[in-house]
Structure 1
Amino acid sequence: MSKPYNVVTDLLDLYWDDPVAFAEDMMGFDPDDWQRDVMMDVAQFPRTSVRSGQGVGKTGLEAALVIWFLCCRPNPKVVCTAPTKQQLHDVLWAEVSKWLENSMVKNLLKWTKTKVYMIGHEQRWFATARTANKPENMQGFHEDYMLFVVDEASGVSDPIMEAILGTLSGAENKLLMCGNPTRTSGVFYDSHNRDRSRFCSHKVDSRSSKRASKENIQMLIDKYGAESDVVRVRVYGEFPKAEADAFIPLELAELATGAAVDPIGDTLHLGVDVARFGDDETVIAPRIGMKVFDLKWYNKQDTMVTAGQVLSIGREMLRSFPQLEFVEIKVDDSGVGGGVTDRLNEVIAEEGMYGWRVIPVNNGGKPTDDEVEHYENRGTEAWAIVRDVLQESFSKHMQGEPISVELPNDERLITQLTQRKYRMTSKGKLALERKEDMKKRGLDSPDRADAVILSFVTDNALHYTNQRPAGW
């Protein structure tokens, strides 16, 4: 057995699951804390995504992981890609060359302009550079051990990313995406939003990095403003505030998930979005004051069961919060929701449930504020109320006041709230994107978001039951 092969087997045994130690021992690479975290996630999990500001050391991290994977997996294939040839070859591939040349494994690997391979195993043991300009460049790779490194991932188109994801089918196939978060759509954006439960996601702010130029950071802030999208993307590692046609900006919803608001008030609000069967969810959203509690969701249950769940949650909340005197249940009354409304009214009347009332909401009906006529229907109006509440909380927070709205830290909820678009009708009114059109874009039906929106609906025209039951 050759001496180089003996060295490789030693590396496999020692550094298989520890790229940090490999980079330090074999490459003289001194990783920052966030780089350590990312490297260990790549070792342990299949998909890792990093959004960051400029100058924090993304390219060095990528190069270290490429060399580690080549040395610490048998017969691996590593595919490096970026949106442009310049970014791929002049930046990422050159960084691999730099770190390899100064490493203790430089005699094991051969670097060329398009390939790095294990000497003596050129055909099966290599890394290659492929520009992300057509899907077929990413296809045809099959191996037990594969690593795809996507640099400036926000600029890689969905068809190419989908080709990469389709290739990664093995248990030891891995994906690392890094980049400035320049777009609020696409696979990279989704990895930090609706799909982040499937990724190990990281955010790196340039201000916290010892590698980033503080002079350049201040120049960007002075030139563009601290809250500009340029600074958000290049310094904070945040996505732009929103696409032009997104109804609720991501930053408004995310701020509310990090709040801690006291449940103040004497009324429990229950938003109920009903889906009888199929893949959509029936969701119940409890709210007291400006605090929305954890959502309850169910699949494939009939309207009678849903009505029972609503009543059970209401009673449980009343026991937990003694200050409550009233319960308002706001039900999406269109379609199968009408059955839930009818059953709830029956039970409330039969049992003489003091303080309970049901508010049926027809999202396709006329807005309640007919004088303003900003919105095409009541559903759009309801979403606008929540958007304005979140915007007011955000604006006050930016002035140093506490966050005034709390949402549950629910990935699907935040995605649904922030990915729904709007349009302007021919009559000059705002109209929410239809659920059918959202599904065509590959998004979930916004059931969780709709339940939260419903919890904020008010209707003073209906009245409470007047009798308080025994034991209330």
Structure 2
Amino acid sequence: MTPQEVRQEVIADLGRFTHDPLGFVLWAFPWGVGGTSLANEDGPDVWQREQLQAIGNDLRADPYKVIQDATASGHGIGKSSQVSWIILWALMTHEDTRGVVTANTEGQLRTKTWPELSKWYSLLQFDCLREMFVLEATSIHSTETGHERTWRIDAIPWSERNTEAFAGLHNAGKRVVLLFDEASSIIDAIWDTASGGLTDANTEILWLAYGNPTRNTGRFHQAIVGRFRNQWRHRMIDGRNVKRTSKEQLQRWIDAYGEDSDFVRVRVKGQFPRASSTQFIPVDVVQAARKREVQVLESDPVIFGVDCARFGDDHSTLAIRRGRDARSLEWRRWNDQDSMTLAGDIALEAQRWKPQAIFVDAGNIGAAVIDRLRQLGVQNVMEVWFGGKGREAELEPGIRVRTANKRAEMWTKMRAWLKTGAIPDWDELEADLTAPEYGYASDQTSIQLESKKEMRARGMPSPDDADALACTFAEYVMPLDNPYFYNPTEYGVVREFNRYEELDG
């Protein structure tokens, strides 16, 4: 067959799958074909097949009845693959389809959702499909002249300041697709705005939401187990019942946290947590640390942690920790303080307490503070880049986890320390420590802490005091009587040697 004949036959086949997404997925990809990455695969998993079949049945029964479908699940069940298949099917089987894909963060779209779409786009069996539809950095659209803007699906990160991006998704007489990835973190205002696009008559409208059920509040929760559940077809999927998940990893989580813990409910069973949110640090752990009395050893080094902010609602904080005690040595806070004055004040505190390490957040005005401290001759000053590479850290006794960045690493160490440490008896510090939520990076194995930007999006202030305390865990600092302790400024970091590698100050 000539390329033109193949193209005509493929177009004819696409018409058969307009209301058959499962048929499209089985037809479009080389399942079981040797020499491909799908050589040992026989098609979608059971839950994926069931959802695709249900969508097809709905469209064949009444193509103009709005489809609202929500899926809560544990980790690794293949949500991103399902989203990719639906994007390709919806776009390629109906002329002038328009759609939007959004997720909890721009990073999720860029590093997880869109790369997965790219993978399946490249696996399409027919080259002419890639000629008819082009995949770009934030969109996939038709190459047919005059249809580039009317036949497309775009990746748009949601923002409380950009709700209008979801208000104009009208496409009367055609097909509209709205996909929410990691839907539990998408604020109600986006859901409310998106629902305004469901009013076009004689239009195929599909609104699909996927995510780990990390919050027991919000519209995703309400769509599955709350007051809107009758408006949505919904399901909760246990990762243990899905063929592509690592059953060994899931069992390790169950053994570590307990069968009925919120962690297992959310990450394994696909059930909503009992707590109001999936907090990284539990309230009871912080409250115990507020009241705990601890003993300080002569060898415990004094460590400064500095979180820097210039103006606005945020403030700069100096946290001081000596071993298990982060209460006895007085902390400092500054509002609306310039970097030079801030550095001068920290230098005076250093002269007073003679710390063995001063870890300063290098973001914001932190770099200027670091430079000034060094110019003043303050010893043991080290910069901390929150977005830098994270290392393994102990989450629970005997359980080490990967971390997505330096901030997640420090908070993980701090979380473990809080179970035996002592902190100031402050409500503000407790709020800071318990506010951030957590998830997993695109590799699904590295803990990723909620960013300050994401916290602000749900109305939470920046956890300045907690970040300052976390900075005291940036590197291990040797006990004062350790003969192998080196001056950290000589090497640029606090050094660790031989049997002291895992020693925690």
- How does the TM-score come out when normalised to structure 2? 0.46
TM-score (norm 1): 0.49
